[in-house]
């Protein structure tokens, strides 16, 4: 039972602070194939961890949500006040809603028990150590893998899902870690907070950029039978800067280069 495992963990570790980062995650394909699993596991692990943390006297709980919790057609830039103005994009709605319930729980526990729980909404993350398995990976590691592997094999084409018209915002993993720590140290309010870089890029622009950075010069074939996902994503980061001084610092091109270099090293080692 998840609850028993959580109870034992907290009893043994006796933490003052819990940052809940665990999740069952994946790209659009993985979300479409396992919506029930993504809903159940993410809901259960989060709800039970927060409940047991409250019961065992944890002083502060940082719940990490997801930009997937926003409604499908949220006006850009996404503001935290827009979070309840519609249903999430269908391909990842079960995951997004499971994570969104942590906000409801955090606010309810603060109201009833005085439990110090906060809720953060990071955009799509990327960086060294990402998941490069095409069955489960998100868009940046998937594209890096396709381009690097094509260059190494001498392939003259890659296939990319969708039309390329959708947009995304990406946050380098080290910047996200800085934001989580800053919020854990300085943020004490019930309102959700976006964590992002403030840069919107279309998937077509992203593919061209990764192809250039990896040296792939072949044909890019778009597969419009596959979904684009949410039409646009870019968040307003005003609240994070105002409340706990967070601003993303890593240049997107530099973050991509670090991620590409990491994948190439791992690939040479034989892990992929």
Of 95, 126, 172, 263, which one is the catalytic site residue? 95
Q: Give the pair of three-digit tokens for residue 204.
A: 């077509």
Q: What is the model's pLDDT at position 73?
A: 96
Q: What is the mean pLDDT of the segment spanning 58-81?
A: 97
Domains of the chain, residue spans: 2-269
Q: What is the model's pLDDT at position 1?
A: 57
> Range with the lowest mean pLDDT among 3-17, 81-95, 99-113, 252-266?
3-17
pLDDT greater than 90 at residue 221 = yes
What value does the mean pLDDT of the chain take? 96
Query: What's the whole-model pTM score?
Result: 0.94
Q: Of all helices (H) and strands (E), which one includes residue 50?
A: helix 35-55
pLDDT greater than 90 at residue 81 = yes
Spatial separation of the C-alpha atoms in residues 66 and 95, rounded to whole Å: 9
Q: What is the model's pLDDT at position 62?
A: 98
CATH 3.90.1150.10 fits 2-269, yes or no: no
Angle at 99 between CA 59 and CA 180, to 5 degrees: 50
Percent of the chain with pLDDT over 90: 93
Residue 95 is a catalytic residue: yes
Cβ contact 98:68 at 8 Å: no
Q: What is the model's pLDDT at position 269?
A: 82
CA 15 to chain CA centroid, nearest Å: 25
Tens digits of per-residue pLDDT, 103-131?
999 999 999 999 999 999 999 999 999 99
Q: What is the mean pLDDT of the segment spanning 166-194?
A: 98
Cβ contact 102:90 at 8 Å: no
pLDDT greater than 80 at residue 272 = no
120-159 burial string, b = 16+ CB within 10 Å, else e? bbbbbbbbbebbbeeebbbbbbbbbbbbbbbbeeeeeebe
Cβ contact 2:50 at 8 Å: no
Q: Which of 116, 112, 161 is nearest to 17 (CA)?
A: 116
Alpha helices in 215-249 (DSSP H): 238-244
């Amino acid at each position: 039972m998840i609850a028993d495992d959580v109870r034992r963990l907290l009893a043994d570790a006796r933490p003052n602070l819990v940052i809940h980062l665990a999740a069952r995650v994946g790209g659009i394909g993985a979300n479409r194939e396992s919506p029930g699993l993504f809903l159940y596991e993410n809901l259960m692990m989060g709800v039970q961890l927060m409940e047991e943390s409250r019961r065992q006297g944890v002083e502060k709980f940082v719940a990490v949500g997801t930009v997937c919790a926003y409604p499908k057609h949220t006006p850009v830039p996404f503001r935290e006040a827009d979070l309840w103005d519609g249903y999430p994009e269908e391909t990842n709605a079960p995951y997004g809603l499971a994570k969104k319930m942590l906000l409801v729980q955090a606010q309810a526990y603060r109201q009833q028990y005085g439990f110090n729980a906060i809720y953060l909404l990071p955009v799509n993350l990327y960086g060294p150590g990402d998941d490069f398995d095409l069955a489960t990976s998100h868009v940046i590691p998937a594209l890096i893998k396709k381009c690097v592997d094509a260059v190494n094999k001498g392939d003259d084409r890659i296939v990319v899902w969708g039309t390329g018209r959708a947009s995304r915002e990406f946050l380098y993993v080290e910047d996200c870690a800085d934001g989580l720590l800053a919020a854990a140290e300085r943020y004490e309010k019930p309102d959700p907070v976006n964590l992002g870089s403030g840069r919107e890029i279309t998937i077509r622009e992203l593919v061209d950029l990764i192809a250039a950075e990896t040296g792939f010069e072949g044909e890019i074939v778009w597969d419009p039978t596959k979904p684009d996902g949410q039409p646009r994503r870019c968040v307003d980061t005003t609240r994070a800067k105002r409340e706990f001084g967070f601003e993303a610092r890593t240049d997107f091109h530099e973050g991509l280069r670090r991620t590409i270099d990491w994948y190439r090293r791992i690939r040479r080692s034989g892990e992929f």
